[in-house]
Structure 1
Amino acid sequence: MKKLLGIIFLMLFLVSATQLTSPEKQEPKTLEGTWELVSFNNYDGNEVVQTLPATDGYRQIKMYYDGKVMWTRYVPTDSVEWFGYGSYIATDSTLTEKLEYMSASMRKIANENMEWHMELQLEGDKYSQIFVDEEGNRINSENYKRLN
Structure 2
Amino acid sequence: MKTRVTFIILFALLFSCKENTTIVKEAVEVAIVEEPSLEGTWEMIGLYNYKNNEVVDSFKTREGNRQIKMYTKSKVMWSKLVPADSTEYFAYGAYSLNDSILKETLDYGSKTMNLVIGKRRDYIFKIVLEKDKFSQIEIDEDGDKIYSENYKRVD
TM-score range, shorter chain: 0.7 to 0.9
CA contact (8 A) 2:108 2:117 kept: no
CA contact (8 A) 2:97 2:103 kept: yes
CA contact (8 A) 1:45 1:138 kept: yes
* Paired position in structure 2 for 1:102: 109
Query: Larger deviation: 113-122 or 26-35?
Result: 26-35
Q: Which has the larger radius of gyration?
A: 1
CA contact (8 A) 1:28 1:125 kept: no
Secondary structure at 1:124 match in 2: coil
Offset from partner CA, 1:38-81 (integer Å, 9 cap, x none):
00000002101111000010100000002000000000101000
State the number of aligned residues.
129
Query: CA RMSD, aligned part only?
Result: 2.1
Counterpart-to-counterpart distance in 1, 2:35 and 2:66:
24
Secondary structure at 2:85 match in 1: coil
Identity of matched residues, %:
46
Tell me the TM-score normalized by structure 1: 0.80
Equivalent position amino acid for 2:54 in 1: E
Q: What does 1:1-148 correspond to in 2, within 5 Å? A: 26=33, 28-110=35-117, 112-148=119-155
Unaligned runs of 5+ in 2: 1-21
Structure with greater helix percent: 2
Moved segments of 4+, more than 2 Å: 107-113
